[in-house]
Structure 1
Amino acid sequence: MQPTRIDHSMPAGEFLAVALELSGGSWKIGLHDGRREKPAIDTVSANSAACRLEQAVQQIEKIKSRWGLAPDVRTVILYEAGQDGFWIARALSKLGYEPLICDPASIPVERHARRAKTDRLDVIRLLMCLLAWLRGEYDRMHVVRVPSIEAEAQRHLVRDRGQLQKEVVQHRDRIRKLLRTVGCWQDVNGDVATRLAMGKFRCYDGAPLPPELHARLTRECRRLALAEQQFSQLEKELINQLPAPVQKRIADLEQLKAIGPVGATRLVLELFWRHFDNRRQVGSCVGLVPQPYDSGESRVDQGISKQGNRRVRSLLIEMAWFWLRYQPDSAIARWFTQRTLGNAQNKRAKRIVIVAVARRLVIALWRYLEHGVIPEGAVLKNRTTRFNNGRSWVD
């Protein structure tokens, strides 16, 4: 079959660009070889994940045969990052395809107040972005780095720990608020279930709690006990479940004052599992880079991009405050003092500058782990206390 159109801006050699628009009910597939006027669009809607992936692969191979493409032609498949995670990319990679995952927010869209949006239009837009990316227009979309299976699995440990810690606080806070509805202002620290069973919680006038409220608080205490038990067990086993190289990187970070075991573990598992080529990539990955708006006479500072991993970004802001407290003689802390010297009482100015401190800190920690460069002026902890077997998980 002769091509209907030849675009010399396309990559040399034959290729097949495939875009997937994923949804719960079906997948929309768009295919283009860079030579035709219109793409081929199809839909697969099997009920199971394996069958739907198999249907998509069959459709890709069917188009290859129909368009006269070689079976081993370069096939690049793009889909947006979302709830399906990375399993599709890993499965396609095993089959010999070249999968790409893009950030959905990086896909350019029309700015009309009312724009048409359907799965068919979305897959065509994805396909056009992929064709532009293959031509070398890498700014058309942001490609997501796919972690290894081990790195992705290890993140579940630290994220589950954070979720359990949050649930413990939520249960205690719920118990406190339920007690306040009857005028009981006692604290809810310690063993709440035992105090509840002994009848130590009373209404404002000394009367016992209503039976319905007492039953609800009892059920809430059971959920609290389960969350605390799981949290305690996970803390004891978390570090031992990590491989030795990861444990070493965590230990290296803990050697710096102001960085505790929880913060070091989260940074290594959430951020420093991947390779960075320069400091700009580090700052961009955590979303702490500025986003200016400079057009004509309008010059507005829009703040930071807030892209990338939001968990790491919030952690770094918290770490930056600890760094100023426990590393006051470091170059980063001195830089913060110089910037806020005339605004000692201006809290808003400090909150703005602390973002820049967080960006400088994460770059310094990256250099420390990758090249062994200790941050300028930073103080290390005592090694004898740091490698103790009895580790405390409180930053």
Structure 2
Amino acid sequence: MALELSKTSWVCAFAVPGDNKATAHKIKARDVDRLISILNSSETKAEHQLSRPLRIVLCYEVGYDGFWLARLLMARGIRTVVFDPASFLMPRRGRRAKTDRLDAEGMTRTLRTWLSGDREVARDVLIPSVWSKKTQSASSASESTSSKSAPASSGASKGCWRCTGFGSTANALARGCWNVST
């Protein structure tokens, strides 16, 4: 299964092993309960169709939503692969249609190829733990405020915190309401 994530909606595409056609579902962004429901129903249908147990593998491109979704899905036992969007092999000639649905369907083919062992089609990204990301962000925010090279409220700092789900913590840092040295 592949996800194409945007701020307002997610497109999830599921392809049964051995079938080139992917079915796509559009859901509201961050609607994890609906996503899990689609995952479960797709898995059940595919197992029935193939008459054997399957293990769902889900992928998406790292971006605005960061890694919180991967951590959540892995905590629920779903193997999750996060790809670097700049690493996808793309045809050099001509223009191609670009929609979230087509991107999600294409990503299912990329995932299938990647899982079969061809790591040249895309590069996966290491998913940091919440703790390591929080520590890294706090330490760089501490260094930047002490050296006066960049304010703690810079867009990059807020972006790092938002990706980990700690957006309000970045604002607290900017106001000096939270001690990062501990």
TM-score over 0.5 (shorter chain): yes
Equivalences for 1:90-169 in 2 at 5 Å?
90-164=71-145, 165-167=148-150
Residue in 2 that maps onto 1:60: 39
Equivalences for 1:1-395 in 2 at 5 Å?
18-45=1-28, 49=30, 52-67=31-46, 68=48, 73-164=54-145, 165-167=148-150, 230=176, 237-238=180-181, 241=182
For CA contacts below 8 A with separation 6 or more, give which structure has more relative contact order. Answer: 2
Report the Cα offset of residue 55 of structure 1: 0.7
Report the Cα offset of residue 71 of structure 1: 9.7
Partners of 1:43 and 1:124 in 2: how far apart? 12
Partners of 2:35 and 2:51 in 1: how far apart? 18
Unaligned runs of 5+ in 1: 1-17, 169-225, 242-395
From the superposition, tell whether residues 167 and 134 of structure 1 become closer, same or farther in structure 2 (CA, over 3 Å). Answer: closer
Paired residues of 1:61 and 1:71 also in contact (CA < 8 A): no
Q: Which string of whole-angstrom CA distances, capped at 9 and with x for unpartnered residues, describes residues 232-265 of structure 1?
A: x85xx52xx3xxxxxxxxxxxxxxxxxxxxxxxx
Partners of 1:84 and 1:33 in 2: how far apart? 26
Partners of 1:145 and 1:63 in 2: how far apart? 27
TM-score by length of 2: 0.75
Higher Rg: 1
Report the Cα offset of residue 73 of structure 1: 2.5
From the superposition, tell whether residues 26 and 71 of structure 1 become closer, same or farther in structure 2 (CA, over 3 Å). Answer: farther
AA matched with 1:63: S
Partners of 2:149 and 2:65 in 1: how far apart? 25
Counting matched residue pairs gives 156
Q: Which has the higher strand share?
A: 2
Question: Percent identity, aligned pairs only?
Answer: 29
Pairwise CA RMSD? 2.5
Aligned to 2:21, the other structure's residue is in SS state coil
Aligned to 1:101, the other structure's residue is in SS state strand
TM-score by length of 1: 0.36
Partners of 2:19 and 2:95 in 1: how far apart? 30
AA matched with 2:114: W
Unaligned runs of 5+ in 2: 152-172
From the superposition, tell whether residues 72 and 88 of structure 1 become closer, same or farther in structure 2 (CA, over 3 Å). Answer: farther
AA matched with 1:105: A
Residue in 2 that maps onto 1:260: none
Partners of 1:139 and 1:21 in 2: how far apart? 21
